[in-house]
Chains A and B, each alone.
Chain A
Amino acid sequence: MDDKLQEIRAILEDVLAIDASGLTQDSSFESLGLDSLDSIELIVEAEERFNVDLSDAPALLTVADLLDLLP
């Protein structure tokens, strides 16, 4: 789980230029300032890095929601 969380941090920093050093599983995407396009970019990058299809994923509210969908 720590590796996946670290990868999510890396995506937020690489793709969205967000300082994610304080990111936890409980962090909400809203608290990170992500809008709908940011969330989609996060999902697209996660699909690529984790080789998973999230196109039918439900709305993601927290980092934990995303982590639950990753292999």
Chain B
Amino acid sequence: MHDPTLNKDGLITPEALEAFKARIGLKLRVNNAFNDRVDLRSVQRFCDGIGEGNPLFTDPAYAAASVWGTLIAPPSYLMSVFPGWILQGLPGVHAFHSSFDFQFFQPLKEGMTITPESCFTGFHPVETKFKGKALIEHQTASYLDAQGQLIAQAKVNGLRVERQAIRDADHYHDLELPHPWTPEQLDDLGQRILAQHPRGSEPLYFQDLQLGDHLPTLIKGPLGATDIIAYCVGARPVHLLAHELALRHAASHPSWEVRDRDSRAVEPIFGVHYNLSAAQAVGMPYPYDIGSQRFCWQVQALTDWMGDAGQLLRCKVRFKEFVFLSDAVFLDGVVSKLFVDERGRHIARVSTTASNQRGTLVMDGFADVMLPSKEA
């Protein structure tokens, strides 16, 4: 299936590891920053890209009348500022998102400027379902306001795997892709999705919650190419190039490009998210979603539930399995802890899960949400 002449694989050799180790501690050049300001048009474009219709984030009049008194962006908007991760070192060794642990220190109010920073903090070897060598790479992403104060900070883990190991494992050979949805299933899914809505201005009070309370399920899917394109338009997770610029980039970065078997066009390896040749070149059976995009869906499930007066303080996700084009994702949550922190904030901890239509867990994690209290 794979033509090895299409791209250049990298290996995790002792020499490559030594070179990689020498980079630990480096402050990385953020070459994939996009939005640098909370403004209506950018926020609307981002929300379009993740299917986020909450008027708190997209309707200035609604937002002005809210508890915030101004337009705010969803916390996931930071993914459009900088997706938290920089592909660096180990050329030709594939990278997958492994986990995000975001802490949010300030709401994203209209007019704020945001400057991202990134640091490579280390790596550890790991055993995976893929054959061959793999490691977990650690980076820290920081987002600063105009005064240099932290808006948010994330600990980000990426999985680096030799592409040949992924191909050899052939882990997904028994999956039927695209998923064989029946018309009835698609109709049911569509109706459930259209019935989804954010809680809105009615406050969700801390005292109204009990341990074990379930969040409404947020459904995304079946995932299509346009969902990926819309995310790229709204969040621009990588710097995509076209025509002669793409060819020049391919010449200087042969490990990160692939030639499409059908169109014969040069595609970036990022095309694993929408291009079958690119996906198969790295050993995957079908294009799959973008990790930062899935994180945004998780944040939406939380903001839809907590209402306008809630504030997301932390969101941690771990990517457990791939979400392929044609898959649907069902994001659920359960209140697992209720506490008042040392600053007197009333916080609900939510254990989160996301599963696909096959019942496979594709993401889990937890989140801390600050809620209004009925006590003065």
Mark A residues whose CB is within 8 Å of B: 15, 17, 36-37, 40-41, 43-44, 47, 55
Cα–Cα distance between A47 and B138 once the two chains are bound (Å): 13
Min CB gap A44→B, angstroms: 6
Query: How distant is B16 from chain A, measured CB to nearest CB, in Å?
Result: 16
Cβ B318 vs Cβ A37 within 8 A: yes
Contact A43 B351 (CB under 8 A): no
Question: Given A40-B124, A44-B121, 15 other A-B contacts at CB below 8 A?
Answer: A15-B101, A17-B316, A17-B336, A17-B349, A17-B351, A36-B126, A36-B128, A37-B98, A37-B126, A40-B126, A41-B157, A43-B124, A44-B124, A44-B138, A55-B124
Closest Cβ neighbor of B101 among chain A residues: A15
| List of B residues within 8 angstroms of A37 by Cβ | 98-99, 126, 136, 157, 318
Which residue from chain A places its CB closest to the CB of B126 in the assembled complex? A36
| Chain B residue at minimum C-beta to C-beta distance from A45 | B155
Q: Are A40 and B351 in contact (CB under 8 A)?
A: no
- Chain A residue at smallest Cβ distance from B21: A55
Q: B126: shortest Cβ distance to chain A, in Å?
A: 5
A47 to B128, CA, bound (A): 23
Q: How many A-B residue pairs have CB under 8 A?
A: 30
Q: Pick the 8 closest A-B CB pairs, nearest first.
A: A17-B366, A40-B124, A40-B136, A36-B126, A36-B127, A44-B138, A40-B126, A37-B98
Scoring A36, A40, A43 by chain B CB atoms within 10 A of each residue's CB, the highest score goes to A40
Q: Mark B135-146, 1 if CB is under 8 A from A, else 0.
A: 010100000000
A/B interface sample: 27 pairs, CB < 8 A: A15-B101, A17-B316, A17-B336, A17-B349, A17-B351, A17-B366, A36-B126, A36-B127, A36-B128, A37-B98, A37-B99, A37-B126, A37-B157, A37-B318, A40-B124, A40-B136, A40-B157, A41-B99, A43-B124, A44-B121, A44-B122, A44-B124, A44-B138, A47-B122, A55-B122, A55-B123, A55-B124
CA distance A31 to B299 in the complex (A): 30
The interface residues of chain A lying within 8 Å CB-to-CB of B136 are 37, 40
Residues of B within 8 A of A41 (CB): 99, 157
A8 to B276, CA, bound (A): 44
